[in-house]
Amino acid sequence: MFFSVLVPVYNAEPYLKDCLDSVLRQSEQDFELVLVNDGSVDGGGMICDRYRAMHPDKVKVLHQPNKGLILARRAGVDAAQGEYCVFLDADDLLEPDALKTLRETITRENADMVIYNYYNRFEPEYTTTISEPVFEDGRVFHNESEKRPIYEEMIASWRLNNLCTKAIRTSLVKEDDTPYLEYARNPHTEDLLQSLYPVTHAETIVYLAVPLYNYRRIQQSISSRVLTGKIDRQFNDAVMDQLRRYMTQWGLDTPEQLERFHARKINGLITLFWQHYRAAETEDEKKSVLDYDWRQHIDAEGLMYAKNRSLPRMRRIQLNAILKKNQRRLDWIEKLGAIKMRASHGE
């Protein structure tokens, strides 16, 4: 068996059939479909069992109490019997020739991993865009020096985080000794966490600019994320600490790369602050966002690099205002941003 397609399922009933059909209708049919029902309380578990009954030679179903996305993915990995693992979220879709293209690429290059591009499918607008490629189509990375651009991209940005745009040799993901139980409580940035080991240990990686995956982006009201109790769940400092350790392993804990790493962390903090601050509908809500302890997510090393060249001047001004809880300056920045936005739309 060549592929194990791993799908964690949790309360995804409205989208699950389309997801599973996108696998079962693949032009390449040498695969197993492993569904991990992670304690769904909707009809998702029954849909999984129904598909297993209809396709007993293809579909394997695991039912477990709710343990969270990380441990659901790892349960799928443990059960995988194919030579390569392909990861698929229960509300997303594979392109019809995705597995065929992956198999041809793997066979041609003897690849341990293939990283591929994806479509963004926005709902309820029902519009589709292609994500901007990170590298040129078909680029092959054979050794540590050739993999350096991949490492540098993972240090500086989120663009190679997504586990669902990677086909990985199963032995690599099974050998991963990361203590995932320690990370299970907070699934934020779990894609990056689960990518670090296989990217590091893969001898040959191929990048495909062609989109093989459909990432469904469902627009939700941002006001539902204003409550400060939810902010902690949108950080995962432990994962970033793990990335920092891998930087040392890669020999990339240089001042230049540390600037880029901390710029990424600080930019993420600032972006999250504005998501909550702009969504606040009352002064009390704004105050609760401002009163949150944002400084706890910047360690001593991060503060050393808070004025680095990788962070634009305006972002440094914003960070300073956030850490000092300067509402007057933040409100001014917010108004300035709104003016620029209207100008860019010709208003």
What's the pLDDT at 229? 63
The reply to whether 144 and 233 lie within a common domain is no
The reply to whether 255 and 109 lie within a common domain is no
At which of 187, 218, 249 does a domain end?
218
Token digits for 224?
């539902």
The reply to whether 137 and 60 lie within a common domain is yes
Q: Smallest Cα–Cα separation from 33: which of 9, 13, 12, 65?
A: 9
What's the pLDDT at 124? 79
What's the pLDDT at 220? 55
What's the pLDDT at 210? 97
What's the pLDDT at 29? 98
What's the pLDDT at 261? 95
Structural domain tally of the chain?
Answer: 2
Q: How buried is residue 226: exposed, middle or buried, by Cβ count under 10 Å (0-12/13-18/19+)? A: buried
49, 60, 81, 207, 222 from 56: Cα distances, Å: 10, 7, 15, 33, 41
The reply to whether 204 and 228 lie within a common domain is no
Q: Smallest Cα–Cα separation from 222: which of 126, 289, 164?
A: 289
3-state secondary structure (DSSP) of residue 203? coil
What's the pLDDT at 274? 94
What's the pLDDT at 266? 94
Give, for all 347 residues of the chain, the pLDDT tens digit.
999 999 999 999 999 999 999 999 999 999 999 999 999 999 999 999 999 999 999 999 999 999 999 999 999 999 999 999 999 999 999 999 999 999 999 999 999 999 999 999 998 778 999 999 999 999 999 989 999 999 999 999 999 999 999 999 999 999 999 999 999 988 889 999 999 999 999 999 999 999 999 999 876 543 444 455 678 888 899 999 999 999 999 999 999 999 999 999 999 999 999 999 998 888 998 999 999 999 999 988 988 888 777 788 899 999 999 999 999 999 999 988 765 545 554 54
Find all residues with CB under 8 Å of 82, minimum gap 6, and list them.
1, 2, 3, 4, 31, 32, 170
Other CB atoms closer than 10 Å to residue 227's CB: what's the count?
A: 12
What's the pLDDT at 312? 87
The reply to whether 156 and 204 lie within a common domain is yes
At which of 218, 246, 268 does a domain end?
218
Model-level pTM?
Answer: 0.91
At which of 190, 218, 246 does a domain end?
218
What's the pLDDT at 309? 73
The reply to whether 132 and 181 lie within a common domain is yes
The reply to whether 198 and 297 lie within a common domain is no
The reply to whether 144 and 68 lie within a common domain is yes
Residue 26: which CATH number?
Answer: 3.90.550.10
Domain encompassing residue 254: 224-344
What's the pLDDT at 225? 47
What's the pLDDT at 223? 41
The reply to whether 47 and 185 lie within a common domain is yes
The reply to whether 102 and 248 lie within a common domain is no
Q: Are 117 and 214 in contact (CB under 8 A)?
A: no
- Give residue for tokens 């997801």: 19
Helix axes 144-156, 237-249, angle to 10 degrees: 150
Q: How buried is residue 51: exposed, middle or buried, by Cβ count under 10 Å (0-12/13-18/19+)? A: buried
Q: How far is the C-alpha of 139 from the C-alpha of 205, rounded, in Å? A: 8
The reply to whether 202 and 333 lie within a common domain is no
The reply to whether 90 and 184 lie within a common domain is yes
